């Protein structure tokens, strides 16, 4: 039979493409490759032949292109071996993409552990751990790296003015880090006026460098990265430059080139300190001696992409390999409290006398307190809070925290108080300004001709007041006072001048000021405390103490006023400045009812039939709660109820959690191979709702 494909008369004959012969590498001719395919049933290594031309370049850790399922796909060489267990014919590597070793053995092992714990695939984790390649950055010529000597500058010893020595166990922690040991500490920072937390972190980094080891600092956002970088330079740790040593930023917002350049500096061993956001938890810092997670309860530490790991937990996994761990913030998270209760980590806190000396005077204006003011108590800014602002402005800047951004984020009918909603998608309407047209907060559609569906009235009134409206009201109440805003929409300020001014900020966007604020007023506390979520109390206290920590001590006239009616335990934790006590109480409550972190939790979301199929296939013992609907049933299917999106929760004791997750991974792999309807699985979700 003619192997050539027949062709029309006068047309060239198409011939089959034959593979060109190639010579196989003599030494270790088989490369085991982690292929960038996230399907669960393909979550394993695949063997490829190494051409002799690539024998030197195809090292473990480099990127390659391979032929997989009829396509050229990315992958990483994990190992070179002498022979393969595959019974068929092996395909050769298509090409070695780069000579850079971007996947170190330590990071590979960490990625495997993360995939195992969070029921993910290795490919998904490697996408988080290794940033995309930037060829131009790889081609840059860096000066030869100077070898560090015994007299190399590792930072300044500032123990004489350190707040670590005002914490019980703080000095011992630094000493053990400098001696090359691996202590684990849960740190409750003193207010900013005692010493900025960034300076204390810099001291811990310097201690690790004095011991000849590297350090990794993970913070919630780029703003904190900049603050930590400034503190490192004040402590004598320079920013990395090609040819030198120092610290680097690992932040996705810096752009692909800058991020990859910093990653290469760490991977090549040029930079021994990495500071970044959640993905930096995988940074391949050479000889890592200290891992730090600041404000570990912040939801920004939760990765929004599969398999949804948490940066605090990833760093804790690295600590199991002989790395010192420091988890801290102004409040203690319930997850960190569980470590303390189990003895896995030690608390590093100041005694009550130090806390009182460093913190402002906390005041809670609750319902009983406001009742003494009569009719004025109904005002959003009661007279006591107004006086705190007025008196504070005589001594310096005053901070006003507002839980919502925008102008009027929620409006309602002025007649019957029905919340105004969009006629297109049903989302809540909001006003962006005093003369703005109502617009939907979800789809952005304008509703200039809105009419109440209940009573027909066309007038609107405010239900919730945002930072912009608050700033407008304060500007009228305190004319002539400089007014500054720090919100996600208007721009977040890192610092503000120390002069007389009003600063209106949303939680987490409060700028620092040299010398501290004279006063802080935390408005709408009941809104912050009433937000849905398992960690609502912890989040509220974190927002309040984070703002109050920027205020001068009570001995210098500093005062922090919390306005709003909140539960007594939460109010007590604020007034006593006792976040550890609240964390201990919450952990005890959750232990009694079997909620995380006292128990292991898995959330499975998807169509009802698919979720039921996954849960029914599990063999490991677990308690199933739900499923509960999470959305409306579709109308364009034969059985809408079976296609309705639902969520089921699997609650398991921690000692059986690994067994459950392994069983769950096997079920997901089987469903993937059969091409059954996928589900979304979140192991240890920060907020299961």
State how many domains the chain has. Answer: 4
Residues 314 and 246 in one domain: yes
Tens-place pLDDT, residues 555-609:
999 999 999 888 899 999 999 999 999 999 999 999 998 889 999 999 999 999 9
pLDDT surpassing 90 at residue 308: yes
Residues 348 and 376 in one domain: no
Tens-place pLDDT, residues 495-551:
898 889 999 999 988 998 988 999 999 998 888 888 878 888 999 999 999 999 999
- Output the pLDDT for position 17: 43
Nearest alpha-carbon partner for 274 in 258, 307, 250: 250
Residues 663 and 608 in one domain: yes
pLDDT surpassing 90 at residue 397: yes
Whether 502 is covered by a domain: the verdict is: yes
Residue reference for tokens 């695949």: 46
The answer to whether the CB of 668 falls within 8 A of the CB of 40 is yes
Q: What's the half-sphere exposure (Cβ side, CA atoms, 13 Å) at 326?
A: 34
Tell me which H or E stretch contains 108.
helix 105-117
Task: Quote the domain boundaries for residue 274.
Answer: 159-355
Residues 665 and 627 in one domain: yes
Whether 79 is covered by a domain: the verdict is: yes
Radius of gyration of the chain (CA): 29
Tens-place pLDDT, residues 473-491:
888 889 989 999 998 777 8
The answer to whether the CB of 447 falls within 8 A of the CB of 454 is no
The enclosing domain of 672 has a CATH number of 3.30.70
Residues 611 and 658 in one domain: yes
Residues 660 and 570 in one domain: no
The overall pTM is greater than 0.85:
yes
Chain-centre distance of CA 345, in angstroms?
21
The enclosing domain of 512 has a CATH number of 3.40.50.300
Residues 214 and 345 in one domain: yes
Tens-place pLDDT, residues 60-72:
999 999 999 889 9
Sign of the torsion formed by the C-alpha atoms of 193, 289, 173 and 309 = positive
Residues 340 and 378 in one domain: no
Residues 348 and 365 in one domain: no
Residues 124 and 36 in one domain: yes
Residues 545 and 652 in one domain: no
Confidence of residue 6 (pLDDT cuts 50, 70, 90): very low
Residues 545 and 401 in one domain: yes
Whether 459 is covered by a domain: the verdict is: no
Nearest alpha-carbon partner for 47 in 61, 27, 67, 63: 67
Question: DSSP letter string over 534-549?
Answer: TTHHHHHHHHHHHHHT
């Amino acid at each position: 039979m003619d192997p050539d494909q027949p062709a029309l008369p006068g047309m060239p004959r198409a011939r089959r493409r034959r593979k060109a012969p190639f010579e196989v590498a003599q030494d270790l001719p088989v490369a085991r490759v982690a292929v960038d395919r996230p399907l669960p049933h393909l979550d394993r290594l695949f063997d490829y032949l190494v051409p002799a031309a690539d024998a030197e370049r195809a090292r473990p850790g480099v990127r390659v292109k391979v032929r997989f399922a009829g396509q050229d796909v990315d992958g990483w060489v994990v190992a070179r071996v002498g022979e393969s267990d595959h019974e068929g014919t092996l395909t050769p590597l298509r090409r070695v993409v780069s000579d850079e070793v971007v996947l170190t053995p330590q990071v590979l092992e960490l990625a495997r552990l993360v995939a195992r714990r969070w029921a993910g695939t290795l490919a998904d984790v490697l996408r988080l751990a290794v940033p995309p390649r930037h060829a131009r950055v790889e081609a840059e010529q860096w000066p030869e790296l100077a070898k560090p000597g015994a007299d190399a500058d590792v930072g300044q010893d500032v123990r004489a003015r350190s707040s670590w020595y005002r914490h019980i166990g703080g000095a011992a922690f630094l000493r053990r880090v400098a001696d090359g040991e691996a202590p684990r500490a849960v740190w409750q920072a003193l207010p900013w006026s005692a010493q900025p937390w960034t300076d204390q972190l810099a001291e811990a980094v310097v201690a690790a460098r004095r011991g000849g080891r590297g350090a990794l600092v993970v913070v919630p956002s780029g703003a904190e990265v900049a603050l930590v970088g400034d503190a490192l330079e004040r402590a004598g740790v320079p920013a990395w430059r090609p040819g030198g040593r120092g610290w680097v930023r690992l932040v996705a917002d810096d752009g692909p080139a800058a991020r990859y350049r910093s990653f290469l500096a760490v991977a090549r061993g040029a930079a021994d300190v990495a500071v970044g956001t959640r993905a930096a938890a995988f940074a391949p810092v050479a000889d890592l001696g200290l891992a730090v997670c600041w404000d570990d309860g912040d939801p920004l530490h939760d990765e929004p992409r599969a398999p949804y790991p948490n940066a605090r937990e990833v760093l804790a996994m690295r600590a199991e390999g002989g790395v010192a761990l420091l988890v801290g913030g102004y409040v203690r998270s319930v997850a960190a409290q569980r470590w303390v209760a189990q003895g896995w980590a030690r608390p590093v806190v100041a005694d009550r006398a130090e806390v009182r000396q460093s913190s402002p005077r906390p005041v809670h204006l609750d319902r009983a307190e406001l009742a003494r003011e009569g009719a004025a108590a109904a005002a959003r800014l009661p007279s006591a809070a107004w006086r705190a602002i007025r008196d504070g402005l005589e001594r310096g800047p005053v901070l006003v925290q507002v839980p919502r951004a925008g102008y009027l984020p929620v409006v309602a009918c002025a007649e019957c108080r029905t919340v105004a909603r969009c006629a297109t998608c049903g989302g809540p309407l909001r006003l962006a300004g005093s003369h703005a047209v109502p617009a939907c907060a979800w789809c952005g559609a304008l509703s200039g001709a809105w009419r109440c569906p209940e009573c027909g009235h066309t007038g609107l009134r405010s239900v919730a007041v945002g930072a912009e409206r608050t700033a407008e009201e304060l500007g009228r109440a305190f004319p002539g006072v400089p007014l500054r805003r720090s919100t996600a929409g208007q721009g977040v300020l890192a610092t503000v001048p120390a002069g007389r001014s009003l600063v209106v900020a949303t939680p987490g966007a409060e700028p620092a000021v040299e010398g501290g604020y004279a006063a802080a007023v935390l408005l709408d506390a009941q809104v912050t405390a009433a937000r849905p979520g398992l960690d609502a109390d912890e989040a509220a206290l974190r927002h309040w103490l984070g703002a109050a920590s920027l205020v001068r001590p009570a001995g210098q006239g500093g005062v922090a006023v919390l306005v709003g009616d909140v539960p007594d335990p939460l109010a007590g934790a604020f007034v006593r400045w006792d976040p550890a006590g609240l964390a201990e109480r919450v952990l005890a409550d959750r232990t009694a009812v079997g909620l995380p972190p006292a128990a292991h939790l898995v959330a499975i979301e998807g169509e009802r039939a698919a979720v039921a199929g996954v849960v029914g296939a599990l063999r490991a013992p677990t308690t199933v709660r739900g499923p509960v609907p999470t959305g409306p049933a579709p109308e364009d299917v034969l059985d809408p109820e079976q296609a309705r999106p639902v969520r089921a929760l699997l609650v398991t004791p921690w000692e059986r959690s690994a067994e459950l997750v392994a069983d769950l991974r096997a079920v997901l792999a089987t469903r993937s191979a059969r091409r059954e309807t996928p589900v979304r699985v979140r192991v240890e979700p920060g907020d299961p709702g």
